[in-house]
């Protein structure tokens, strides 16, 4: 993965995601990190007055844009000492909604990975809606993998990664190419965990065994470990497993984005803030 895109809304969560990207560069072959801020101004804001009968002047828009670029460049300077030697950091100001800005920048800059803070500010001015509400949309619309970083997480070198797998239609849902691209060049131990509250594995369920056989064949080059847990609460089970095995990342497969929605839910987010929460990689 040669190019990372990090959306920056100047929240602490976004700065933390940028720090994560910088440190991750020392463990990967990335050569380019893009810090991008999406700054959307609707035509109504420039044509119609606000409730206080004030109109947004072009000078104010330009000043705001200049301040944002200055903030991006300040962040760039700080990160330059944290990235691996040879990694280039550039900045972009995109005058569109965050989702459109991410998709367009990925396409135009050939980005291989998007790294997001799990919470933050919206790109629409005077709107306090968190970036967390955009994460699912970005993850679904973005054509490349997305890493979601919790605001309190501090980068640790990735030695172990947990893949949450339900053993359903693995040939259709498992992006083996992306997994091999991510894991085959680096000494990362892959732990495949299946939450199996009904104990299908123990009772040799025929369909379960067929899916297992297919999965073993697809991942044999990565030499993963396979684990089965019976906790009925899938999300809690996977996260507890990752914490208990000192994993530095949880990998969610396509079509399982309810996993991420659950993590972003307020009650679970509060639990994760006091536990060993880890970044989540959403594969394509």
Residue 248 to residue 158: CA distance in whole angstroms: 5
CB 186 within 8 A of CB 48: no
Q: Which of 184, 193, 206 lies closest to 235 in space, CA to CA?
A: 193
Residue 44's pLDDT is 46
CA dihedral in degrees (175, 176, 177, 181; nearest 10)? 110
Residue 261's pLDDT is 61
Residue 245's pLDDT is 93
Residue 191's pLDDT is 93
Q: Which of 268, 32, 24, 283 lies closest to 150 in space, CA to CA?
A: 268
Predicted TM-score (pTM) of the model is 0.81
Residue 135's pLDDT is 79
DSSP track, 133-202: HHHHHHHHH-SS-EEEE-TT-------EEEEE---SSHHHH--HHHHHHHHTTTT-EEEEEEE-TT-TTT
What are the boundaries of each domain within the chain? 3-149, 160-279
Residue 263 to residue 247: CA distance in whole angstroms: 17
CB 246 within 8 A of CB 158: no
For residue 130, the 8-state DSSP code is: B
Residue 256's pLDDT is 57
Q: What is the phi/psi pair of residue 154, to 5°?
A: -110, 135
What CATH architecture is 3-149? 3-Layer(aba) Sandwich (3.40)
Residue 162 to residue 160: CA distance in whole angstroms: 7
CB 60 within 8 A of CB 97: no
Residue 201's pLDDT is 67
- SS3 assignment, position 35: strand
Q: What is the phi/psi pair of residue 236, to 5°?
A: -60, -40
Alpha-carbon torsion (148, 156, 226, 180), positive or negative: positive
Residue 104 to residue 98: CA distance in whole angstroms: 10
Residue 18 to residue 270: CA distance in whole angstroms: 22
pLDDT in tens, the chain (284 residues): 799 999 999 988 899 999 999 999 998 889 999 999 998 765 444 444 445 545 456 666 678 889 999 999 999 999 999 999 999 999 999 988 889 999 999 999 999 999 998 876 444 443 333 445 677 788 888 899 999 898 888 999 999 999 877 766 666 666 667 777 776 567 789 998 887 767 666 666 677 677 777 777 888 888 889 898 887 777 778 888 998 999 999 888 765 556 656 665 555 444 433 343 789 888 87
**Assigned CATH topology for domain 160-279:** Rossmann fold (3.40.50)
The CA-atom distances, in angstroms, between 100 and each of 24, 41, 151, 275 are 25, 13, 24, 34
């Amino acid at each position: 993965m040669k190019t990372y895109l990090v959306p920056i809304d100047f929240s602490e969560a976004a700065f933390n995601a940028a720090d994560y990207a910088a440190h991750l560069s020392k463990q990967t072959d990335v050569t380019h990190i893009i810090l991008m801020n999406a700054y959307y101004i609707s035509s109504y804001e420039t044509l119609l007055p606000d409730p206080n009968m004030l109109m947004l002047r072009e000078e104010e828009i330009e000043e705001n844009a200049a301040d944002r670029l200055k903030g991006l460049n300040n962040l760039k300077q700080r990160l330059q000492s944290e990235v691996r030697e040879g990694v280039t950091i550039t900045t972009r100001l995109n005058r569109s909604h965050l989702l459109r800005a991410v998709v367009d920048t990925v396409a135009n800059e050939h980005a291989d990975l998007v790294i997001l803070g799990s919470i933050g500010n919206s790109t629409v001015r005077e709107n306090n809606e968190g970036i967390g509400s955009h994460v699912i949309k970005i993850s679904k619309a973005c054509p490349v993998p997305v890493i979601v970083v919790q605001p309190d997480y501090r980068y640790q070198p990735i030695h172990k990664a947990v893949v949450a797998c339900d053993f359903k239609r693995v040939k259709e849902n498992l992006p083996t190419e992306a997994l091999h691209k991510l894991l085959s060049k680096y000494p990362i131990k892959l732990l495949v965990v299946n939450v199996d509250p009904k104990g299908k594995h123990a009772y040799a369920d025929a369909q379960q065994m067929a899916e297992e056989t297919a999965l073993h064949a697809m991942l044999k080059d990565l030499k993963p470990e396979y684990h089965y847990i019976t906790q009925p609460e899938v999300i809690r089970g996977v996260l507890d497993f990752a914490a208990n095995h000192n994993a530095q990342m949880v990998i969610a497969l396509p079509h399982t984005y309810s996993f991420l929605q659950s993590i972003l839910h307020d009650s679970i987010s509060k639990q994760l803030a006091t536990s060993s929460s880890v970044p989540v990689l959403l594969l394509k």
